[in-house]
Structure 1
Amino acid sequence: MDEDETGDVVLNFYDSLLYKADVSLLDDQKWLNDKLLGFCFEYFEREKFNHSADKLSLINPDVAQCIKLLPNDQLGEFLETLNLPTKQYVFLPVNDNVQCEQTGGSHWSLLVYIRSRQEFRHYDSCKTSNQEEARRLAYKLQPFVHAPMGRMKFLEMDGPQQSNSYDCGVFVIATAEHLCRELCEGYSISLNDVVTQKSVTETRQKIRDLIHQTAKEYSGS
Structure 2
Amino acid sequence: MAAENDNCVVVSFNDSLIHQSDVDLLDGPNWINDNLINFCFEYFEKEQFNHSADKLALISPDVVQFIKLAPDDELGEFLKPLNLPSKEFIFLPVNDNQVSNQAGGTHWSLLVYVRNKQEFRHYDSMECTNKEIAKILAYKVQPYFQAPRGRMKVIEVDSPKQKNSFDCGVYVISIAEHLCKELCEGYNIPLNDLVNSESVSKKRSQIKDLIYHVAEEFGT
TM-score relative to the length of structure 2: 0.97
What residue number does 1:27 align with? 27
Structural mapping, 1:46-195, within 5 Å: 46-195=46-195
Q: CA deviation at 1:100?
A: 1.4
Note the C-alpha offset of 1:197. Answer: 0.5
Report if aligned partners of 2:5, 2:20 keep a CA contact under 8 Å in 1: no
Q: State the Cα RMSD in Å.
A: 1.2
Q: Counterpart of 1:71 in structure 2: which amino acid?
A: P
Mapped partners of 1:136, 1:99: distance in 2? 16
Q: Which runs of 5+ in 2 are unaligned?
A: none
With the length of structure 1 as denominator, give the TM-score of the two structures: 0.97
CA distance in 2: counterparts of 1:150 and 1:173, whole angstroms: 31
Kept after mapping to 2: 8 A contact 1:111/1:121: yes
| Cα drift, residue 5 of structure 1 | 8.4
In 2: Cα distance, 1:108 partner to 1:35 partner: 13
Query: Could you tell me how far apart the structure 2 residues matched to 1:6 and 1:69 are?
Result: 30
CA distance in 1, matches of 2:97, 2:154: 21
- 2:91 alignment partner, SS class: strand
Instruction: Quote the offset at 1:6 in angstroms.
Output: 3.8
Q: What is the number of equivalent residue pairs in this alignment?
A: 218
Contact 1:95 1:103 in 2 (8 A): no
Aligned partner letter, 2:211: I
Distance between the aligned counterparts of 1:129 and 1:5, measured in 2?
A: 36
Displacement, 1:72? 1.1
Check the 8 A contact 2:7/2:19 in 1, yes or no: yes
Cα distance in structure 2, aligned partners of 1:100 and 1:118: 29
Question: What code does the residue aligned with 1:110 have?
Answer: L
Any idea what SS the aligned residue of 1:75 has? helix
For the Cα contact (< 8 Å) 1:61–1:103, is it kept in 2?
no
Q: Deviations over 1:91-117 (max 9, x none)?
A: 000000001112320000000000001
- Where has structure 1 moved over 4 Å in runs of 4 or more? none
The structural deviation recorded for 1:151 is 0.3
Q: Secondary structure at the match of 2:51?
A: helix
